[in-house]
Amino acid sequence: MRIGISLSTGEIPSFKLVETELSFAFLDIGPLSKGHALVVPKCHAAKLHELPDEHLTDILPIAKKIALAQGVADYNILQNNGRLAHQEVDHVHFHVIPKPDGKQGLIVGWPVKQVDKEELKELAEELVSKLK
């Protein structure tokens, strides 16, 4: 199913916030806080690296506008890729989640690891070579 197109045509009901030629934004029906929204590309891609860049350049300005419209100082922009990374729907989507206080919104654990600086240097070199 092409979720982005199904949403924009009304085949899947939603509470639309913004629509462009490439993207569709709507309120999440299972929100973590008031105003929790999703921004999806109309082009189908299961993971971020599969999505053409022009769709990515459309999505983040929409997420920014929604974050400003939500009217809270703190918020999360979340995008998951794959089941181990907590992706439940096989279509790229970005969550815009207001964080009005410590109890509402996204709750994240951040288990920081101690890493040897030489290991980091080697990893950086490896990644830089792949990014060229």
Query: Active site residue: 36, 55, 91, 93, which one?
Result: 93
Report the DSSP beta bridge partners of residue 18: 25
Return the SS3 of 23: strand
How distant, in Å, are the alpha carbons of 23, 58, 90, 97 from that of 86? 22, 24, 11, 16
CB 38 within 8 A of CB 59: no
55 a catalytic residue: no
Distance (Å, whole) CA 118 – CA 85: 27
Give the integer Cα–Cα distance in Å for 68 and 96. Answer: 10
Q: Which amino acid is at 81?
A: N
Q: Which residues are catalytic?
A: 93
